[in-house]
Each structure stands twice: as C-alpha cells, then as structure tokens.
Amino acid sequence: MSLQILELVLVTIFSAATPLVIAAIGELVTERAGVLNLGVEGMMITGAAAGFAVAILTGSSALGVLGGMAAGVALSSLFGVLVIFLAANQVATGLALTILGTGLSGLIGAGFIGLKREATAHLSIPLLSDLPLVGKLLFGQDFFVYAGWALVVAVAWFLTKSRAGLTLRAVGENHASAHALGIPVRRIRFLAVLFGGACSGLAGAYLSLAYTPFWAPGMTGGRGWIALALVVFASWRPVRAFAGALLFGGATVLQLHAQAASLGVPGQLLTAVPYLATIIALVVLSLRRRRGSVAPASLGLSFVPER
C-alpha cells in the first residue's frame, strides 16, 4: 500500500469518526452530570435537517452550523425541563425525544430533499498540507474534524483539572451530597444537557454540510446510538471515546472497501460490520473491566430537592 493510499484511508477514517466523536463527547458530559439522554439520535437527525435548511436558505455554511446546534439545544432543553425539573423518567423521555426528532427532521427537511450544496472548505496550508502521509490528515481537514479534536482535549481537561468539572462530576456521583454542600444540582445538570444537545446538533450538521453535503431522511444511520455505546465503551473518558470513534470509523471504511472489492459477501452483512465491531468491543471491555461499575453513581436517577 502506497503512502498516498494509506493517507487517503486515514483521512476517510477520521471523517467517518468525526460525528461520533462530537456526539459522544456531548453525551459523555451529560452522563457525567448524572443524566442519561437516549435522544442523541433524534437530536443529530434534527441538527442535520435544520443545519442543511439554514445553509440553503442563507447560503452560509457557518449559519447552517449554528442552525444545527440550535436545533439540538432546543430539543435538549425540552428533554432537560422534563427530566430535571419535572422528574420524568429519563429512559422513556430520551426514547420519546428520538421519535420526536426523527419526525421533526422529516418535517424540516421535506422541502430540501434532492438539493445539494458545496461541502465546507478544507484547511490548506502551503507545504504542510502537502507533507506525505500526515499532510492532509493534520493540515487538510475541515472545521468539524478540528472541532472534534478540540472538544476531546477541552472536555478531558475540564473534567479532570477544572473546579467546574470536578463539581459536575460530584453531581453525577452523588447528587444528594452535592445538594447538601450547596451545589445547584439541577442547574448544572441542565447546562450539561444543553451542551450535549449542542454537540449532537453539531454532529448532525456535519453529516449534511460536510460528510455528505445533502439532506436525506434517516441520514444519521444509527450513529446516535453508536455514540451512546461509545460513552460506555470509553468508561466515560473523553480520550477513550475518541479511540472508540476511530475504531467504528475504521470498521465503516473497511466495509465500504470490502463492498467495492466484490468479495461475494452479502452487502447487508458488510453494512453490519461497524455495529458488530462496536458490540464486540463493548463485550471485550466488560469482560476485562474490574469489579464494580465505573459509571457515575447517580446516572439516570432523578433529583428532587427537599422543600
């Protein structure tokens, strides 16, 4: 395999992993605060539809990105009000959010099916972008890829080094003790949910504005569910989530190349390869994990302050 082909494969893997990285990091922060939001898929698909619609109507990809994030925040705020302030069941509400997002995306994108626009521009630095193997990988990506990398670094630092991050983790581990210490549990959880929604909307906007610059119903293809699995796979650690997203991206590229090579394997089986890889990784991780759960202790538990 030549360096040029290897570089192309690596760039493709990072592109396929980007929406998973962004969505998984957002959900990781949400779950570290003790809230389980199963509506990632719904927020992603709504972000994809809203982002593409705004970009087409305004002619601006930047506004399209903001539109996708706004859609994710709007849905996550609805979820947050229900589960944080009204103490609704988090699992049921998250599933309902996915159904709502799927239907809403179809409504938003109904008038934009079949339309196309130019993909977002890629970075190009003279000399650096032409370096063998790493040129396009490090210096020739689009905004979304760099945003995903920045999110991983920023969230890893935030959760482990900052006072606000330690407070958020305390809320996720024991919300009753955090409340007793005067920490505003519900406000912190609501902000974490909004952050997760913004990340899911951004991931969806990437799909319709950069990865495949058009809108099609169901274009997320279950990536929201994979992002949820990646958070568990990563043991709620940002760097591990990034590695898991690359694993899924590699499996996606592998199945595409296998289909192009006409190996005689049913296409449906090849399409399932990325999801099977994720399931196998989760099983292996669970077998190797030490006794005791590494999940936030208050994850999925409603908090109702005493009056």
CATH classification at residue 74: 1.10.3470
Positions of the chain with pLDDT under 70: 1, 255-271, 273-274, 277-278, 281-282, 284-293, 307
CB-count burial class (<10 Å; 0-12, 13-18, 19+) for 180: exposed
Concatenated DSSP letters of 166-226: HHHHHHHH-HHHHHHTT--HHHHHHHHHHHHHHHHHHHHHHIIIIIS-B--TTTTTTHHHH
Per DSSP (E only), the strands in the chain are: none
Let me know if residue 85 belongs to a domain.
Answer: yes
Nearest to 231 by CA among 16, 46, 40, 91: 40
pLDDT (tens digit per residue) in 242-274: 998 998 888 777 766 666 656 566 656 666 766
- Which domain does 95 fall in, by range? 3-288
Q: Which residue has the tokens 């592998």?
A: 254
Residue count (the chain): 307
User: What confidence score (pLDDT) does residue 124 get?
Assistant: 79
Let me know if residue 307 belongs to a domain.
Answer: no
Nearest to 241 by CA among 255, 227, 258, 222: 227
The two three-digit tokens of residue 217, written as one number: 């119903």
Name the domain count of the chain.
1
User: What confidence score (pLDDT) does residue 166 get?
Assistant: 95
Let me know if residue 278 belongs to a domain.
Answer: yes
User: What confidence score (pLDDT) does residue 258 get?
Assistant: 63
Let me know if residue 296 belongs to a domain.
Answer: no
Let me know if residue 238 belongs to a domain.
Answer: yes
User: What confidence score (pLDDT) does residue 249 get?
Assistant: 81
